[in-house]
């Protein structure tokens, strides 16, 4: 029997709807702002046989594209090998072990089997970023951790819900090992509720079309998603495309980590080869395999957003396992930086490699950092401890259509930054500025977007500041002749002195007192195309709006401006001609 | 007394047409008109509509007007030159936004702030989060900034300071200084429209208000003058996005509230119609040529939200009827993807070139074309386009573009387009209701717009919705919304206290203030009311959560226990989760004060004299229509249906402004107001 294409489309959107409703339920019921506001979560449907991805919610955090299929596959294998308990209807497993198909410890996965007539039809799984899972520092992002044990509590797959009932003994162990545990029950219930809603909706589809038809549709959709991705890949001429991307340092050893990528396009397949990338590192900038794969997938989806997310779409993307590099970390390497930072460097490597082959689709490099600044301390006024996170955007890369977006969110996220007013309500800080970072966009025919420039002052008590950012050493690369965006900058002003962290974008526990200030400039996006070909009127407009100075207009773009910032055509021509000869 | 406000005109300006409904209560007549919208000055179309209805303007008691002046200005960025003065260090708040991107996947995208960077100036001043002054307002710098903006030809001014919701003193003082210097009254202060934290949202709301204010002011003044010249003796009333109306004299002060007023009035009409039909839980389904608007009505009250984003990174945070734009319209294009799957939308043929059947040069297959091929739309319409396409031409396109790659003939391809479009729209409607915490099966579908009643029963079936209501004049629903609209004022006060630390007297006092202020504002408008009504609610959450859940209250004097139990119940209904471990937090106290207008008799919308004695008399013919196979299907003219008509599907009811599909197995009945109510599976 073959399914008609119309039923196929209807089942496809039905499965998508199941995942979207799980996403919605999870976010609306969740407690952590990270999940409820920032949507740092994802939900999907996975094959009963090998855990491969059937469908995933459209609003899931991009970095989770593809990760859960590895954790589900590992779970299925562990059950088969007797390393995890056999499932029963109503069971929900919890797991956050990064090496078992995960990201970092804070991304906690739930997985639930869906039974039809006594057999497992498929798995539903979701990931939610918990605000804390224990470990050396609140929130889990320790820039100086050297082993995973310092990063938090690690859970192998165990049944948190047994036949529908929460196992309060396991839950008690978890609560005894994490900070602000009393609110976690809200997230746990929300995460489980999302799976139950998914099961309900999925059963309705199965009842309506029949298990057999849906099963057939799933396999057909997988084939077709692969075909769609293959059709896209054919746009890339056969050949090899290379790039190098740099992580500033691992936070412990102050040396850059290299991601060396060689992409080989052969007809309708792409091979990703990371051979020659840096060895596993001491600090937390290691990536586990699932995250590395997922980063490749999400980069390709940024390039071809129309291919539905399913295992089929990933089939033509062959990633050679980067064994022996920091992109395939093994126990007990620390990994807290993989989801937020290394993943974005991997995506950047993919963009940089393919921008020449796909100049209309791929942009110059975006800021590509989550810009994590954590301030932990004690507020004497409120008589309580706190941990504040300032996550920031940066400039996006210029592209064939237009200049890059200013202050865009991380490549792997889609979340909103908290307002200054909310931060000041909750924490003893005062922002002195929160502004466009002038001059930061990489020059180009279409320039990069601008980063963010903020300065924050500690008002009361003492605190420690930690930074997990990147692109401090080298700015996001320009493309096709465009210049790099400005690198990330961090300055700490205390006691009349200005301190720049040794690792530039990473530092751990810098002590601050009331009156001390932290100033951060996030990276500008890379420029796209020759800046000397940019319309002088657009350069003049940017200067008039205070985004660049007249000097920058001259040196970056070869545009001379007279009084009132009108372009001086003769001088501009002279500058540009001299450059082209020179 | 009874003759007072007996002649009421509702006039809605839409993108293409200006619609008018004129109720004459004394003579028990209704007049309707539809004239082209005059884009440069909407007043022209308004007068044309009044003339087309042969209205005696001098005899009109009330004109309620829905205008898209501000909507168009915002969407097309045809804004007045506006300057902003803000806290030192923060002039880029409007440009930085909340650090997102326009879509989850794809690293492209642009964003243009409402006020350009060179017109955003900073002055030294600062409050902290407790509302304490950190830096005093530098009045000299402020005056200089104001002068700079005046010299820069700004027509409107925004003053937006950090933490002004906590202490507005600096904003108020700055406004005082500005009023002496600014050449006109177009000054918006940040906390006045929205006194809540979140500087980006508050700032954008204020900036939108300022930059449309002069436009709206000019427009309503010109309209009022023109109508006065024609003898109109009263104030015009203008629709707001919350579904209430305010007098034209006051409307521009809070101009931002009119930005989403068009869709809101349609929903108000739906709520009103539903209440009279005793169907109080409705999902409105307004499908037009390019998009579809969906809203939810519970117990005859439309859902209202204060967190509407008009487009990417353009939040307007004032209470507005929560209308969501979803998926497809009649012009949505069908194509076969690289994966060999049929896809409908999101690309649309729009109004030009439009679907093939419009005969304006459209060459791609759309939903409307599929309806035409399947006999659901009247093919006779094709003949009205000189040199336009024939049914065969359309069939050829479906065969070429869709049929061949899918292995289907033209008819099957058209049926597939309709099936997929319906499934997609049903999913979208479901997401809207689920995101508002409701199961669509508990609602009836209210179908309007040109294409709504073509698809509504199929969508209802997908969603398990038992009934579909199509009002008697689905094409003028927004104008009807103007006629039935109430006076309405919404109040929100933030408390933000855990229940166990809450002083309930403060809550009672806040409710009391909100009630008093609402009644005061309503008394200011000289409008005859049949009743006033208050609607109370609180916004609550569990401590540690960021989302709010709105909990309706029956009265303004709840006890703490009352709040706790109502919240727990609302939370469980919504999420099926109980959290006895965690305490609850009361965030906002809300009151809406509503001045109800005298009842309008909607049965007058279809002239009783037009109705024929039997169903057979109302039949205009029959044609082949596709419902999983061809069916010879009777066609009826809506205005001719006898008052007690009952029609079993398959059948089609045509009228001037829409086509209603009654599928095989369904039964349509008319109620006392002339609404057609289709009961799914109700045919005997």
Is B199 near chain A, with CB under 8 Å?
yes
Closest-CA distance, B339 to chain A, in angstroms, reads: 5
SS (H, E, C) B257-317: HHCCHHHHHHHHHHHHHHHHCCCCCEEEEEECCCCEEEEEEECCEECEECCEECCCCCEEC
Q: What are phi and psi of A163, to 5 degrees?
A: 45, 50
Q: What angle do CA A9, A12, A13 make, to 5 degrees?
A: 90
Share of residues in chain B with pLDDT > 90 (%): 69
Q: What's the pLDDT band for B205 if we cut at 50, 70, 90?
A: very high
Partners of residue B111 in chain A, C-beta under 8 Å: 405-406
Distance between CA A129 and CA A106 in Å, rounded? 5
Whether the per-residue pLDDT at B546 is higher than 90: the answer is no
Q: From first to last of its 582 residues, what are the pLDDT tens digits of chain A? A: 578 878 888 899 899 999 999 998 998 888 877 787 778 899 999 999 999 999 999 889 888 878 899 999 999 999 999 999 999 999 999 999 999 999 999 999 999 999 999 999 999 999 999 988 999 888 888 888 999 999 999 999 999 999 999 999 999 999 999 987 877 888 999 999 999 999 999 999 999 999 999 999 999 999 989 999 999 999 999 999 999 999 999 999 999 999 999 999 999 999 999 999 999 999 999 999 999 999 999 999 999 998 888 899 999 999 999 999 999 999 999 999 888 899 999 999 999 999 999 999 999 999 999 999 999 999 999 888 888 889 899 999 999 999 999 999 999 988 788 899 989 988 999 999 999 999 999 999 999 999 999 999 999 999 999 999 999 999 999 999 999 999 999 999 998 899 999 999 999 999 999 999 999 999 999 999 999 999 999 999 999 999 999 999 999 999 999 988 999 999 999 999 998 876
Instruction: Please give the angle made by the CA atoms of A35, A41 and A42, to the nearest 5 degrees.
Output: 150
Using CB atoms, pick whichever of A24, A189, A436 lies closest to residue B96.
A436
More confident position, B277 or B435: B277
pLDDT of residue B461: 95
Asked if the model's pLDDT at residue B3 lies above 50, the reply is no
pLDDT for the residue numbered B33: 92
Chain A CA closest to residue B115 = A545
pLDDT bucket at B350, cuts 50 / 70 / 90:
confident
Q: Mind giving me the DSSP string for A332-369? A: T---TTIIIIIHHHHHHHHHHHHTTTSTTTPPSPP---
The pLDDT value recorded for residue B185 is: 94
Q: State the ipTM, two decimals.
A: 0.93
User: According to the model, what pLDDT value does residue B224 have?
Assistant: 94
Q: Please indicate whether, in this complex, the C-beta atoms of B108 and A193 are within 8 angstroms of each other.
A: no
Cβ neighbours of A182 in B, within 8 Å: 581-582
Q: B637 CB near a chain A CB, below 8 Å?
A: no
Closest approach of A16 to chain B, Cα-based (Å): 10
> Which chain B residues touch A190 with a CB distance below 8 Å?
575, 577
- What residues in B contact A415, CB-CB < 8 Å? 99-100
In the prediction, which pLDDT does B455 show?
96
Tell whether A78 lies on the interface with B, counting CB pairs under 8 A.
Answer: no
CA distances from A232 to A5, A237, B341 (A): 21, 11, 15
Q: Which of residues 400 through 429 in chain B touch A, CB cutoff 8 A?
A: 406, 416, 419-420, 423-424, 427
Residues B109-121 have pLDDT tens digits of 999 999 999 999 9
Residue B2 pLDDT exceeds 60 = no
| Residues in contact with A441: Cβ distance below 8 Å, sequence separation at least 6, in sequence order | A395, A398, A403, A404, A406, A447, A448, A449, A450, A451, A485, A486, A524, A525, A527, A547
Q: How many residues does chain A have?
A: 582
Q: In terms of CA atoms, which chain B residue is nearest residue A438?
A: B92
**Do the Cβ atoms of B161 and B172 come closer than 8 Å?**
no
Per-residue pLDDT at A546: 96
Of B39 and A245, the structure prediction assigns the larger pLDDT to A245
**Residues B577, A417: C-beta atoms closer than 8 Å:** no
Mutation for testing the A interface, residue in B88, B105, B112, B576 having most A CBs under 10 Å:
B105
Contact B200/A at CB under 8 A: yes
Query: What is the model's pLDDT at position B327?
Result: 67
Answer yes or no: do B100 and A409 touch at CB < 8 A: yes
Q: Is the pLDDT of residue B1 over 50?
A: no
Decide if A183 contacts B544 (C-beta within 8 A).
yes
Answer whether A369's CB lies under 8 Å from A379's CB.
Answer: no
- Mutation target to probe the B interface, by most B beta carbons within 10 A, among A5, A15, A55, A416 is A5
Per-residue pLDDT at B38? 86
Collect contacts of B110-116 with beta carbons under 8 A, ≥24 apart: B110/A402, B110/A403, B110/A405, B111/A405, B111/A406, B111/B312, B111/B313, B112/B77, B114/B77, B114/B79, B114/B82, B114/B204, B114/B207, B114/B208, B114/B211, B114/B314, B115/B82, B115/B83, B115/B84, B115/B158, B115/B207, B115/B211, B116/A545
CB contacts, 8 Å: B128 with chain A: 424, 430
Mark which residues 401-430 of A lie under 8 Å from B by CB.
401-403, 405-409, 411, 414-417, 419-422, 424-425, 430
pLDDT tens for each residue of B477-513: 999 999 998 888 888 888 888 999 999 999 999 999 9
* CB within 8 Å: A424 and B128: yes
Identify the residue whose tokens are 């799980």: A22
List of chain A residues whose C-beta atoms are within 8 Å of the C-beta of residue B340: 5, 224, 227
Task: Kindly list the residues from chain A whose CB atom is less than 8 angstroms away from the CB atom of residue B458.
Answer: none
Q: Could you please report the per-residue DSSP string of B139-176?
A: HHHHHHHHHHHHHTT-SEEEEE-TTTTT--HHHHHHHH
**For position B4, what pLDDT does the model report?**
58
Task: Inform me whether the C-beta atom of residue A305 falls under 8 Å from chain B C-beta atoms.
Answer: yes
Nearest to B197 among A298, A407, A419 (CB): A419
Mean pLDDT of B76-88: 95
Q: Do B108 and A401 touch (CB under 8 A)?
A: yes
Is the CB of residue B266 less than 8 Å from the CB of residue B293? yes
């Amino acid at each position: 029997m073959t399914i008609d294409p119309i039923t196929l489309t209807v089942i496809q959107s039905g499965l998508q709807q199941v995942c979207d409703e799980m996403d919605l339920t999870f976010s609306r019921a969740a407690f952590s702002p990270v999940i409820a506001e920032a949507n740092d979560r994802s939900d999907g449907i996975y094959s009963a046989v090998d855990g491969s991805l059937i469908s995933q919610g459209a609003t899931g955090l991009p970095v989770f594209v593809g990760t859960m299929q590895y954790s589900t596959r590992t779970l299925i294998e562990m059950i088969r090998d007797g390393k995890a308990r056999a499932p029963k209807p109503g069971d929900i497993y919890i797991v956050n072990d990064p090496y078992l198909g995960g990201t970092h410890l804070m991304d906690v996965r739930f997985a639930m089997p869906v039974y039809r007539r006594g057999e497992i039809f498929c798995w539903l799984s979701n990931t939610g970023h918990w605000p804390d899972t224990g470990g050396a520092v609140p929130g889990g992002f320790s820039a100086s951790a050297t082993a995973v044990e310092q990063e938090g509590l690690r859970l192998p797959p165990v049944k948190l819900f047994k036949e529908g009932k929460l196992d309060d003994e396991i839950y008690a162990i978890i609560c005894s090992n994490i900070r602000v545990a009393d609110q976690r029950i809200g997230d746990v219930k929300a995460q489980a509720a999302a799976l139950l809603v998914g099961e309900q909706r999925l059963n309705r589809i199965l009842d309506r079309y029949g298990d057999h038809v849906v099963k057939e549709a799933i396999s057909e959709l997988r084939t077709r998603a692969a075909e769609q991705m293959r059709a896209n890949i054919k746009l890339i001429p056969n050949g090899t495309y290379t790039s190098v991307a740099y992580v500033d340092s691992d936070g412990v050893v102050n040396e850059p980590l290299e991601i060396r990528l060689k992409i080989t396009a052969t007809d309708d397949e792409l091979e990703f080869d990371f051979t020659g990338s840096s060895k596993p590192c001491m600090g937390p900038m290691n990536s586990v395999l699932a995250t590395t794969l997922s980063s490749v997938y999400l980069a390709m989806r940024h390039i071809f957003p129309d291919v539905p997310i399913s295992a089929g779409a990933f089939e033509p993307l062959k990633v050679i396992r980067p064994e022996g590099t920091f992109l395939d970390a093994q126990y007990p390497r620390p990994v807290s930086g993989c989801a937020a930072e290394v993943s974005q460097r991997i995506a950047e490597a993919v963009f940089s490699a393919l921008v020449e082959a796909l100049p209309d689709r791929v942009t110059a490099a975006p800021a590509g950092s989550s810009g994590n600044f954590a301030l932990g301390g004690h507020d004497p006024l409120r008589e309580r401890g706190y941990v504040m996170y300032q996550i920031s955007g940066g400039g996006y890369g210029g592209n064939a259509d237009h200049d890059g977006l200013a202050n865009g969110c991380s490549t792997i996220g889609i979340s909103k930054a908290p307002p200054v007013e909310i931060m000041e309500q909750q924490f003893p800080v005062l922002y002195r500025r929160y502004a466009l970072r002038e001059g930061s966009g990489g020059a180009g025919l279409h320039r990069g977007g601008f980063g963010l420039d903020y300065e924050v002052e500690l008002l009361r008590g003492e605190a420690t500041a930690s930074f997990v950012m990147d692109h401090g050493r080298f700015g996001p690369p320009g493309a096709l002749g465009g210049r790099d965006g400005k690198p990330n900058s961090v300055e700490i002003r205390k006691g009349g002195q200005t301190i720049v962290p040794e690792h530039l974008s990473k530092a751990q526990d810098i002590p601050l007192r009331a009156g001390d200030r932290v100033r951060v400039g996030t990276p500008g996006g890379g420029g796209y195309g020759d800046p000397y070909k940019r319309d002088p009127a657009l350069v003049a407009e940017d200067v008039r709006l205070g985004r660049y100075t007249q000097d920058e207009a001259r040196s970056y773009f070869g545009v001379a401006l007279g009084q009132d910032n009108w372009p001086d055509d003769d001088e501009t021509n002279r500058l540009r001609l001299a450059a082209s000869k020179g | 007394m009874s003759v007072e406000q007996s002649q009421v005109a509702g006039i809605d300006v839409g993108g293409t047409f200006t619609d008018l409904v004129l109720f004459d209560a004394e003579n028990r007549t209704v007049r309707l008109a539809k004239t082209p919208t005059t884009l440069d000055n909407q007043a022209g179309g308004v007068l044309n509509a009044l003339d087309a209805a042969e209205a005696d303007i001098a005899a009109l008691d009330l004109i309620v007007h829905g205008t898209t002046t501000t909507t168009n200005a915002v969407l097309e960025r045809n804004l007045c030159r506006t300057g902003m003065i803000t806290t030192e260090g923060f002039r880029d708040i409007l440009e930085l936004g909340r650090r997102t991107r326009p879509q989850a996947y794809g690293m492209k995208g642009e964003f243009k702030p409402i006020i350009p960077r060179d017109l955003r100036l900073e002055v030294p001043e600062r409050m902290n989060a407790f509302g304490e002054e950190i830096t005093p307002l530098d009045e000299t710098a402020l005056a200089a900034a104001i002068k700079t903006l005046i010299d820069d030809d700004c027509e409107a001014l925004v003053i937006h300071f950090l933490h002004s919701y906590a202490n507005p003193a600096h904003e108020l003082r700055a406004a005082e200084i500005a009023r002496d210097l600014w050449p006109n009254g177009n000054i918006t202060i940040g906390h006045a429209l929205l006194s809540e934290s979140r500087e980006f949202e508050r700032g954008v709301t204020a900036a939108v208000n300022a930059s449309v204010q002069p436009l709206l002011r000019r427009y309503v003044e010109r309209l009022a003058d023109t109508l006065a010249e024609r003898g109109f003796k009263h104030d015009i009333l203008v629709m707001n996005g919350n579904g209430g109306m305010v007098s034209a004299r006051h409307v521009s002060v809070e101009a931002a509230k009119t930005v989403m007023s068009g869709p809101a009035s349609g929903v108000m009409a739906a709520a009103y119609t539903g209440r009279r039909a005793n169907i109080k839980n409705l999902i409105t389904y307004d499908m037009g040529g390019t998009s579809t608007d969906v809203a939810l009505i519970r117990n005859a009250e439309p859902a209202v939200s204060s967190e509407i984003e008009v487009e990417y990174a353009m939040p307007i945070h004032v209470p507005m009827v929560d209308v969501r734009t979803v998926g497809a319209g009649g012009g949505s294009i069908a194509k076969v993807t690289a994966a060999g799957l049929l896809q409908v939308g999101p690309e649309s043929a729009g109004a030009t070139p439009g679907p093939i059947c419009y005969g304006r040069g459209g060459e791609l297959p759309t939903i409307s074309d599929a309806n035409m091929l399947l006999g659901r739309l009247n093919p006779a319409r094709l003949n009205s386009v000189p040199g336009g396409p024939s049914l065969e031409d359309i069939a050829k396109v479906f065969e070429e573009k869709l049929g061949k790659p899918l292995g289907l003939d033209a008819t099957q391809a058209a049926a597939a387009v309709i099936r997929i479009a319906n499934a997609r729209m049903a999913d979208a409607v479901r997401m809207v209701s689920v995101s508002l915490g409701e199961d669509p099966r508990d609602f009836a579908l209210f179908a309007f717009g040109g294409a709504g009643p073509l698809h509504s029963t199929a969508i209802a079936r997908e969603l398990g919705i038992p009934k579909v209501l199509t009002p008697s004049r689905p094409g003028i629903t927004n104008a009807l919304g103007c006629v039935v609209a109430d006076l309405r004022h919404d109040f929100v006060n933030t408390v933000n206290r855990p229940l166990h630390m809450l002083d309930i007297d403060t809550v009672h006092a806040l409710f009391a203030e909100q009630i008093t202020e609402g009644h005061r504002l309503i008394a200011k408008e000289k409008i005859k009311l049949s009743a006033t009504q208050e609607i109370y609610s609180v916004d609550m959450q569990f401590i540690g959560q960021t989302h709010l859940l709105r909990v309706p209250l029956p009265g303004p004097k709840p006890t703490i226990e009352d709040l706790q139990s109502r919240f727990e119940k609302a939370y469980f209904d919504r999420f099926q989760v109980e959290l006895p471990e965690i305490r609850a937090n009361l965030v906002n106290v809300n009151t809406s004060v509503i001045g109800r207008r005298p009842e309008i008799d909607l049965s007058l919308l279809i002239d009783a004299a037009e109705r024929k004695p039997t169903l057979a008399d109302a039949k205009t013919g029959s044609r082949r229509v596709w419902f999983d196979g061809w069916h010879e299907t009777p066609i009826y003219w809506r205005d001719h249906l006898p008052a007690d008509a009952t029609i079993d599907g398959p059948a089609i009811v045509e009228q001037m402004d829409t086509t209603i599909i009654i599928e095989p197995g369904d039964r349509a009945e008319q109620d006392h107001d002339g609404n057609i109510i289709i009961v799914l599976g109700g045919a005997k």
